[in-house]
Amino acid sequence: MTKRQRADRRTGLLFLAPALLTLGAVTLYPAVSVFWLSLQYRIPIFGIARFAGLDHYAFLAADPRFLNAARVTLGFTAASVALELGVGLLAALLLRRQRAGRRAALSLLLLAWALPSVVTAKLFEWLYHPTAGLVNVVLGGHAFNWLGDPRLAVAGVILADVWRTMPFVALLCYARLLTISPELYEAARVDGAGGLAIFRRITFPLLRSVLLIALSFRTLDALRAFDLMFVLTGGGPANTTETLTVYAYRSLFQTLQLGLGSAIGVAVFALVMLVAWVYLGMLHREGTAA
Amino acid sequence: MTRRGHVLDLLVLLVLVLYAVPFFWQLLTSFKPDAELLQAPSILPTRLTTVHYDAVLGRSLIPRALTNSFAVAVLTTLSAVALGLGAAYALARFPVPGKNLILLGVIAGTAFPQIAIVSPLYLVMRALGLRDTWGALILANVSFALPLVIWLLTGFIREIPEALEEAAALDGAGRIAILRWVVLPLVAPGLASAALLTFLGSWNEFLFAYTFTASEASRTVPVALALFPGVFEVPWGDIAAASMLASLPPVLIVIGLQRFLLRGLLAGALRE
């Protein structure tokens, strides 16, 4: 290694150091110590702090509330992501042929994505109001209690989440669609292909990789979702919208069981990393196949 | 352009306006008189009023929360972009050991669930005496924004032809001077994209802000909105007005700085 290379290496590390130190202290250290915390009984207000081993995990394995939260999380994620991808793809196909007012169209689309999720929660809380909400007024004066009825609440939360995140999927697909050359469609039409055949044979295969990317991002976000259900329903009614994240939060800061809440946090962590790993593998295969 | 094309363009715009109705409905609500909100709900109000904005701006904690949010978001953005630019420059241009591992860690960092690190981070903030201060929120938000900022800027810097920097080095410019006078001007649009996403992320952030704050001294708008008080009944009109005030920066960014926002979003998701 020459003197110049050594100097470059040192300068590089110097440029890198502040960011890495911050990430180490504020992300990596907590990410490691949450495991340690999950092995303890920690109830700060009573000054309780002792080692618990795997007690919390053993408790959670048989805890009906935890199993319910896992089910709610997976159901919410599956439904939300499927709808987001479907509607997002449709929106992108609609937008592609837009000539005039493209900027306005994108503004209207991105609006829902850019708002704070707490604002989204407030918008939908008002839309779902049993007597004065726009949803029930439009449905002809029904008095559905969207957020109070255990059979409807999950659907209400999913709808709000789809509204907020569909634009992201639409935007990714739209950007990909713009890169497909018009000549390709021209040639297919000359060969006598119909609209459906063109979509199946040309558009969809070219969108595959971007849909996979959108699927990965959206699944990881949905598994981690917290703000929307916490503010909109607080996990209720009857825990039908209590996801793992909401259960973790309530354990941590409402019943103040820092150890148990951390164990649930670790479960979310493990779930997200597992899914990320699976998707990375899929993306990698897609990349080498294409 | 055919006539049919114009009609279709308008139709798509109309569909998108309908899509944004949840927002416009709240906007309309924020100007409706109280009497027309719950009793005999009507689509269009008979008159518009600013009483809800008067109440929110004059007699609530929202103005203070807006100040907190704005200060935290601006300071978060400045810090994250400064730290991220240095790190990205190093990763793009220097023979740093373990570079690939660091980049992999950065990507993994974008997938970290907030809920998993909020409990240890809460203990850290308490130990540092940062509870209920802007500092806690800035520190947490910067760290959460950094992976994306580093990822975006590393890509943007790699797009710059290295020959420019080599020429400057031959002319005797040091590394800092090259970063300041060669790299920075060329990466400025990318920097704007990263800054916008960081600002939005901080403005919208709820979980950390809800956990680390305890009073109006540091509560941000999402927290104030989630805790919006009602004495005997829910003040829907006031909540609508507060929601609109909380939406103002995101709406302005989407309309006015759309180009940078799109670039950041697409580069963040689609770069290999």
What does the pLDDT look like over A234-279, one tens digit per residue?
998 999 999 999 999 999 999 899 999 999 999 999 999 999 999 9
pLDDT at B35: 85
Query: In whole angstroms, how far apart are CA B16 and each of A69, A105, B4?
Result: 34, 7, 19
pLDDT at A52: 87
Q: What is the mean pLDDT of chain B?
A: 92
Region A200-204: what's the mean pLDDT? 87
User: In degrees to the nearest 10, what's the CA dihedral of A209, A200, A176, A169?
Assistant: -70
Does A151 map to a domain?
yes
Rounded to the nearest 5°, which phi and psi values hold at A189? -65, -40
Chain A nearest CA to B17, separation (Å): 7
The residue among A273, A266, A175 whose CA lies nearest residue B120 is A266
Q: What is the mean pLDDT of chain A?
A: 92
Rounded to the nearest 5°, which phi and psi values hold at A49? -155, 100
Q: Which amino acid is at A245?
A: T
Is residue A169 within 8 A of residue A86, CB to CB? The reply is no
Place of tokens 């598994």: A223
3-class DSSP string for chain B: CCHHHHHHHHHHHHHHHHHCHHHHHHHHHCCCCHHHCCCCCCCCCCCCCCHHHHHHHHHCCHHHHHHHHHHHHHHHHHHHHHHHHHHHHHHHHCCCCCHHHHHHHHHHHCCCCHHHHHHHHHHHHHHCCCCCCHHHHHHHHHHHHHHHHHHHHHHHHHCCCHHHHHHHHHCCCCHHHHHHHHHHHHHHHHHHHHHHHHHHHHHHCCHHHHHHCCCCCCCCHHHHHHCCCCCCCCCHHHHHHHHHHHHHHHHHHHHHCHHHHHHHHHHHHHCC
Place of tokens 């009614």: A237
> B97 preceded by cis ω (within 30°)?
no
Residue A103: CATH number of its domain: 1.10.3720.10
Query: pLDDT > 70: what percent of chain A?
Result: 99
Token duo for residue A244:
């793992």
Is residue A114 within 8 A of residue B251, CB to CB? The reply is yes
d(CA A221, CA B196): 20
Give the one of B108, B116, B146 whose C-beta lies nearest to A265's C-beta. B116
B243 CB neighbours in chain A (<8 A) are: 119, 122-123
Give the tens place of pLDDT for each residue, B184-242.
Answer: 999 999 999 999 999 999 999 999 999 999 999 999 999 999 999 876 788 999 999 99
pLDDT at B111: 87
Query: In whole angstroms, how far apart are CA A229 and each of A81, A121, B212?
Result: 16, 8, 20
Is residue A245 within 8 A of residue A222, CB to CB? The reply is no
CA angle at A176 for the pair A173 and A177, rounded to the nearest 5°: 85
DSSP 8-state symbol, A24:
I
**DSSP string computed for A46-90:** GTEEEE-TTHHHHHHHT-HHHHHHHHHHHHHHHHHHHHHHHHHHH
Residues of chain B numbered 179-218 and touching chain A (CB < 8 Å): 200, 203-204, 206-207, 211
Does A169 map to a domain?
yes
Rounded to the nearest 5°, which phi and psi values hold at A42? -135, 105
Is residue A66 within 8 A of residue A247, CB to CB? The reply is yes
d(CA A30, CA A22): 12
pLDDT at A130: 87
H or E element that contains A153: helix A153-178
DSSP 8-state symbol, A27:
I
Look up the ipTM and state it. 0.94
pLDDT of A286 strictly over 70: yes
Does A176 map to a domain?
yes
Domain range for A183 is: 71-244
Check CB contact under 8 Å for B118 and A106.
no
Does A269 map to a domain?
no
Query: In whole angstroms, how far apart are CA A44 and each of A213, A219, A262, B125?
Result: 42, 34, 14, 14
Is residue B25 within 8 A of residue A122, CB to CB? The reply is no
Give the tens place of pLDDT for each residue, A10-54.
Answer: 989 999 999 999 999 999 999 999 999 999 998 877 778 889 889
pLDDT at B41: 61
pLDDT at B216: 93
Is residue A134 within 8 A of residue A125, CB to CB? The reply is no
Region A45-65: what's the mean pLDDT? 91
pLDDT at A132: 85
pLDDT at A64: 97
Region for residue A279 given its phi and psi (left: phi exceeds 0; alpha: psi -120 to 50; beta: otherwise): alpha
Does A278 map to a domain?
no
Does A221 map to a domain?
yes
pLDDT at A262: 96
Give the chain A residue whose CA is nearest to the CA of B126. A44
**Can you list the domains of chain B with their CATH numbers?**
3-52 (no CATH), 61-270 (1.10.3720.10)
B253 CB neighbours in chain A (<8 A) are: 114
A119 CB neighbours in chain B (<8 A) are: 222, 225, 243, 246-247
Chain A nearest CA to B46, separation (Å): 16
Does A51 map to a domain?
no
pLDDT at A8: 84
Does A33 map to a domain?
no
Token duo for residue A144:
């559905």
Tens of pLDDT along chain B (272 residues) come to: 577 788 889 999 999 999 999 999 999 999 999 888 887 566 788 889 999 999 999 989 999 999 999 999 999 999 999 999 999 999 999 988 889 899 888 888 888 899 999 999 999 999 999 999 999 999 999 999 999 999 999 999 999 999 989 999 899 888 888 989 999 999 999 999 999 999 999 999 999 999 999 999 999 999 999 999 876 788 999 999 999 999 999 999 999 999 999 999 888 887 65
Please give the tally of structural domains in chain A: 1
Query: In whole angstroms, how far apart are CA A31 and each of A37, A77, A119?
Result: 10, 23, 29
Chain A nearest CA to B127, separation (Å): 13
Give the chain B residue whose CA is nearest to the CA of A141. B41
Region A219-228: what's the mean pLDDT? 96
pLDDT at B61: 93
Write b or e for each residue in A242-276: b if 16 or more Cβ atoms lie within 10 A of its Cβ, otherwise e.
bbbbbbbbbbbbeeebbbbbbbbbbbbbebbbebb
Radius of gyration of chain A (CA): 24
pLDDT at A193: 83
Check CB contact under 8 Å for A16 and B91.
yes
Check CB contact under 8 Å for A126 and B25.
yes
Q: Crossing angle of helices B21-29/A102-114, nearest 10°?
A: 70
